[in-house]
Amino acid sequence: MPLSIRTVLATRYVTPLREGGSLPAIVEADDDGMYVLKFRGAGQGPKVLIAELVAGEIGRALGLPVPEIVLVELDPMLSNAEPDEEIQDLLKASVGLNLALDFLPGALAFSPATAQGIDPAFAALVVWFDAFVMNVDRTPSNPNIVLWHRKPWLIDHGAALYLHHSWSDVESRTISPFPQIAKHILLPFAGSIVEADVTAKGVITPALITSILDLVPESWIDTTPAVDRPVGTRQDYFDYLTRRLDASSAFVAEAERARTSRV
């Protein structure tokens, strides 16, 4: 069954969140919901939104706690109500479809020092997930985990799939062991990454990857001509993700080595 994603209309710009390259903000939408919106017109462009959508939906498919992801339509008239010139410019540059995550009011920053009862299987699956999508965040300096109703939630996957900023050396990155995983904030809590690999590969299939990629708006896809074909097509993302899935033994071994070396 094909996946679906809701589209809402932004009705009010509430407040900026002065962090991250995508300059997110809290907005209210026509469904009366509040969302953390990431702007297509921010400096890093739509690739951050693609990473957020694709990685986030992979995480949700794995049963990981990722807030609902929605597409957000920005009307050009919304900028007229904003006195801040920088915000006006960002809103004008982002007219059309943007991306947002459900806002978790009252969420607290995650800290290993105060974390309690982290399930080893859960931590291992998060480590596997971040290694698979090559998410360079989720470190002690940038956890991208919040506690909401005393449970951890995974946020901000814009730094994942970073090869798509250049699409260079795709083959070697596809089979990369991703040594950055040694800095993962949940690695000290993790159980077997090998067992997590079995669990994850029972869920993540080529058909699922296709369904997730089909959620990406056409206007976000990079069609800049390369030597022989466009770069950053859906097929490019599909090829990368399915080959990385097939080569998971490389990053699983690296993560397991990093995990056991801490014991």
Q: Which amino acid is at 243?
A: R
The answer to whether residues 91 and 141 belong to one domain is no
Instruction: Give pLDDT, residue 138.
Output: 95
Instruction: Give pLDDT, residue 125.
Output: 98
Query: Which structural domain, as residue segments, surrounds residue 56?
Result: 7-102
The answer to whether residues 62 and 114 belong to one domain is no
Residue 205 backbone phi and psi in degrees, to 5? -125, 165
Residue 76 included in any domain: yes
DSSP secondary structure string, 70-85?
A: EEEEE-GGGGGG---H
The answer to whether residues 35 and 119 belong to one domain is no
The answer to whether residues 76 and 133 belong to one domain is no
**Of the candidates 78, 102, 126, which is a domain's last residue?**
102
One digit per residue, the tens of pLDDT, for the chain of length 263 reads 678 999 999 999 999 986 655 679 999 999 999 999 999 999 888 999 999 999 999 999 999 999 999 999 999 888 887 888 888 999 999 999 999 999 999 999 898 877 778 999 999 999 999 999 999 999 999 999 999 998 999 999 999 999 998 888 888 989 999 999 999 999 999 999 999 999 999 999 999 999 999 999 999 987 666 666 667 899 999 999 999 999 999 999 999 999 999 75
Residue 211 included in any domain: yes
The answer to whether residues 194 and 255 belong to one domain is yes
Residue 214 included in any domain: yes
Residue identified by tokens 């699956």 is 125
Number of compact structural domains in the chain: 2
Instruction: Give pLDDT, residue 52.
Output: 97
Instruction: Give pLDDT, residue 59.
Output: 98
Residue 2 included in any domain: no
The answer to whether residues 35 and 73 belong to one domain is yes
Instruction: Give pLDDT, residue 22.
Output: 60
Q: What's the burial of 232, exposed, middle or buried (CB within 10 Å: 0-12/13-18/19+)?
A: buried
**Apex 228 CA angle, 226 and 229, nearest 5:** 65
Phi-psi region of 144 (alpha: psi -120 to 50; beta: other; left: phi over 0): left
Give CA–CA dist 210/241, Å, rounded.
10
Instruction: Give pLDDT, residue 19.
Output: 61
Residue 14 included in any domain: yes
The answer to whether residues 97 and 112 belong to one domain is no
The answer to whether residues 64 and 190 belong to one domain is no
Count other C-beta atoms under 10 Å from residue 39's C-beta: 26
For the entire predicted model, the pTM comes to 0.94
Give CA–CA dist 129/145, Å, rounded.
14
